[in-house]
Chains A and B, each alone.
Chain A
Amino acid sequence: MSTAPRRAQEGFVRRYGVIIVWVIVLIVFSLLRPKTFPTASNFETLLASQAPLGILSLGLLIPLSAGDYDLSVASVLTLSGMIVAILNVNHGMNVWQAALIAVVVGAAIGLLNGIICVGAGIDPFIVTLGMGTVVNGVTLWISNSTPVSGIAQPLVNMVVVNRLGGLSLEFFYLIIAAAIIWYFYEFTPAGRRILVVGRGREVARLSGMRVKRIRILAFTAAGFVGALAGVVYVGTSGSADPTAGTTLLLPAFAAVFLGSTTISPGRFNAWGTLVAVYFLTTGISGLALLGVQTFVQQLFYGGALVIAVLLSGITRRNRRRKDASQLPTEPQQLGDAVGAVGSGAPGKAIASQSPPSGGEVLGTGGE
């Protein structure tokens, strides 16, 4: 176990960096607002109220780990919430039945994303950007651009009203969702295969994996989970807003990417995503208590996304350099370093075609 000591020394800060910063943020806000911030009720809201965002982020994690962007997940969340509201409130359908339909629609949108991207071989970034906009349009259309309120109480009860240990049930839904995702990626062969598909699509294909099927399923799962998040979303507020959900797209990306720098650094992972969601919302809620204006939310989420991607890029590079100086046997790295300066940047040329992976910079084709 020659790598064990190295892991121990460099591992802790990297693995738990976000958690450490989170704790620091908690302490700072507690000191600044000792009466309002460190209260049981504030923490209860903090933990429970972010379930929709958390579940959405977990849904987004699935196609990202398979190497595909899905920019339509937040739109699916919004549509799903709106479907529940319209079927339940306007058409008097049983709320659970409505939720079921919403989730099926979400999965179908994901499937369609997958078929277009994978079947026709089109860049998911563009396809899902377009699909998200179409879904937004449909949401506005079916709702006449107005919020629908009055969701049946059973759903609201099961999401926010009923509590366990002082916390709304939605918090536990989030934990369960994270546990399922974690279990899937960590303990099932299928989860491990997605990892290979995400990191080396051609390698996966030539190893006999059914890469197309896996990618389509990942998109479908994202639509499904995104729609579930939508159901929880309407359960939280008791109403559906045709635009509110779409603002969750950026926080979800920020959470997944920031999450990939912690717990299992360099890899999109469920618990890291959860930690990142709470880190981000702690920041937001603390700032709100300090009385800053709402535009700070955008500064915070946007800034966090850029910084998260930057951070993971840096740690990744440092790790490579460190590894390279310990075992000087990798020609590709030399190609990267020299090529970037000397010739036509060969490393980048290849990288521009490769899908996103944990902790890699968002932008593709950076020539």
Chain B
Amino acid sequence: MTQASSGPLLSIRNLTKYFGASPALDDVSLSVAYGEIRGLVGQNGSGKSTLIKCLAGYHSQDLSWLLELPGKELTRALRPGEITAFGVAFVHQDLGVLGDLSVLENLLLTEFANDHRRYIGWRAERTKAKEIFEQFGLDLDPAAKLSVLRPVEQAQVAIVRAVLQLRSAKQADHPGVLVLDEATTFLDRAGREGMYDLLRAIAAEGSGVIFVSHDINEVLNVCDAVTVLRDGRVVEDAPRSELTHDDLVSLIVTGRRGAEVISRPARRETLPVAPAGGASLEIQGLTGDLLDDVSLTVHPGEIVGVTGIVGSGWELVVEYLWGARRAESGTCRLGSRSIALEAMSPDKALGLSMVYVPSDRLRESIVPDLSLRENVMQPVLAKSFEKGRLRLRRLTNACKEVLEKYAVAPAEPSMPMGLLSGGNQQKAVLAKWLQTDPLYVLLNEPTQGVDIGARQRIYELVRGAAARGAAVIYASADWEEVAGISNRVMVISEGRVVERIEGADISVDAIAQGAYLGMRRSADLSKAAALLEDA
């Protein structure tokens, strides 16, 4: 929906950026027109982040470009944050919102940071906030504490704040550009819908949007045009109408159209024979928070998908089972052993040969400052402890071996974990746990924020673990993924298992049907009907 305009709102031309001797970006051009939502896609390491960092003024050296904004042309690098004054605002993956503050306080954070007013008229600000929410069709209470909002709503607050920032920029005579840097990564499918509506409303006002994402479906859903980066070069710049899902996948992975790439695991029809070893894992009457009397069984060698829509509580199944949170009641039976889930804790679970991969990688599963060796080898330290001390060299060698085996790049044990790409971090986390040959593997959104290449590898690793006899619970909001990898799928809606799908019956449609038809809340039913019509 490009409006009549004189030239682009923002245009980057011939951006080249070197890190040392090698170019991270090589002659990259990207422009955003008035009212345009511009997708920016590419694997981790393709240069997306570098490009955004150049715009944000985070890279100042070895950079050449021509940056055009309405009434402004620059060839020099920007200072950090300088571009906000030219009407470009960012929303990052972590959203930059504070849970302890109210929605209104969060909205005003930026203004407080940039403006030196002496008095805050809270009543007027509240009215203003309500107006802007109304304008974008959002049903948010300015007085609510942010942490009680759903993740989608928190993201919406962050986006509205960025819009306010655009409006208060010095050059408010043009509509400004909003940059969403993987801001949807931590939202689930149903939640993202609310995001798209908001973005379309913002674009309808004339603002441009740069939408950085891993998720091809959402890019195709919301963007007017897409730029694909690969190895620091633009391999495609096309309107949405000229692109298909397969085109994009192929472009991202190979740099050209028409190559055969499987972005989701192919269905595996036959149930593998359970190898001898571990007993089945049986959950009975799991209750707590949203969950209400959930029971499920996972056999050795089997992958059971657990999914549903946002807020239905599907992710709680693995969190309670691992003891990451305390359930109210429920039991877990492993063969002859029976464990009360209200007394479960991660160390107990670990002792039962369970492992758990949390969904929030940055906060829950890696220590970015510590080396790969210290992160990955943590569960097996005892193996290298001999004659009264840790054999560090042996530990390093063992780590290198594990990293190579699990295709973590670079396989450099001394490298700080935080320097790896998201995909490699996640492979390293899987390596950390799968090297212990666990009997029970609990996964919570294992491919969140991970590029396509690494995804493939992660699916292989998960299947490998199952093939060796592990019982796997695969909790994910990505229905295609769940449908592709699971032998059985439990669909959870409003805290109850509403659908059990097996074997050849597993499909995205079947999951969608279960998830939406299982809902009782009237507000969501209309959405459900709409989605089913689409399908």
Binding site for B on A (CB under 8 A): 1-3, 183, 186-189, 192-193, 195-196, 199-200, 202-203, 205-210, 266, 323-335, 337-346, 349-350, 357
Contact = CB atoms under 8 A, between A and B. Distances in A.
B473 to A, nearest CB: 16
Contacts of A187: 388-390, 392
A210 B323 CA distance: 12
Contacts of B283: none
A185 to B, nearest CB: 10
A196 B415 contact: no
A338 B90 contact: yes
A337 B324 contact: no
A337 B367 contact: no
Given A188-B385, A208-B349, A329-B421, A196 B365 contact: no
Contacts of A335: 92-94, 96
B309 to A, nearest CB: 25
Contacts of B97: 344, 346
In order of increasing CB-CB distance, the 7 nearest A-B pairs are A341-B81, A208-B350, A346-B96, A344-B109, A189-B381, A187-B389, A200-B367
Scoring B44, B181, B370, B382 by chain A CB atoms within 10 A of each residue's CB, the highest score goes to B370
Nearest to A183: B389
Interface in B86-145: 89-90, 92-98, 106, 109-110, 113
B272 interface: no
Contacts of B420: 329
B94 A208 contact: no
20 contacts: A2-B410, A188-B390, A189-B385, A192-B381, A193-B378, A195-B370, A202-B363, A206-B322, A206-B356, A206-B358, A208-B379, A323-B416, A328-B49, A328-B53, A328-B59, A329-B419, A331-B49, A331-B92, A338-B57, A342-B89
Contact of B346 (A206, A266, A332, A342): A206
Highest count of chain B CB atoms <10 Å: which of A188, A196, A335: A335
Given A325-B59, A326-B20, A346-B96, A196 B378 contact: yes
Interface of B: 19-20, 24, 44-45, 49-50, 52-53, 56-59, 61, 80-81, 84, 89-90, 92-98, 106, 109-110, 113, 158, 161-162, 165, 181-182, 322, 324, 346-347, 349-351, 356, 358, 362-370, 374, 378-379, 381-382, 385, 388-390, 392, 410, 412, 414-416, 418-422
B106 A344 contact: yes
Given A196-B374, A329-B49, A332-B94, A343 B324 contact: no
Contacts of B158: 343
A184 to B, nearest CB: 10
A343 B61 contact: no
B93 A331 contact: yes
A343 B109 contact: yes
B209 to A, nearest CB: 16
B147 to A, nearest CB: 12
A342 B110 contact: yes
Given A334-B56, A338-B81, A207 B93 contact: no
A343 B161 contact: yes
B92 A209 contact: no
A6 B424 CA distance: 22
B96 A199 contact: no
Contacts of B366: 200, 203
B370 to A, nearest CB: 6
Contacts of B389: 183, 187-188
Nearest to B25: A328
A339 B92 contact: yes
A337 B58 contact: yes
B416 A345 contact: no
A196 B98 contact: no
The residue among B80, B81, B369 with the most chain A CB atoms within 10 A of its own CB is B369
A205 B344 CA distance: 13
Contact of A349 (B44, B45, B49, B98): B98
A213 B57 CA distance: 44
Nearest to B385: A189
Given A187-B390, A334-B56, 5 more contacts: A192-B381, A208-B347, A331-B92, A344-B106, A349-B98
B85 to A, nearest CB: 10
B369 A357 contact: yes
Given A192-B374, A338-B80, A343 B410 contact: no
A210 to B, nearest CB: 5
A327 B419 contact: yes
B149 to A, nearest CB: 15
B96 A210 contact: no
Contact of B414 (A3, A183, A192, A329): A3
Given A189-B385, A331-B93, A335-B94, A3 B367 contact: no
Contacts of B410: 2
B390 A344 contact: no
B347 A334 contact: no
Contacts of A337: 56, 58, 80
Contacts of A3: 412, 414-415
Contacts of A324: 58
Contacts of A346: 92, 94-97
Nearest to A326: B19
Contacts of B90: 338, 342-343
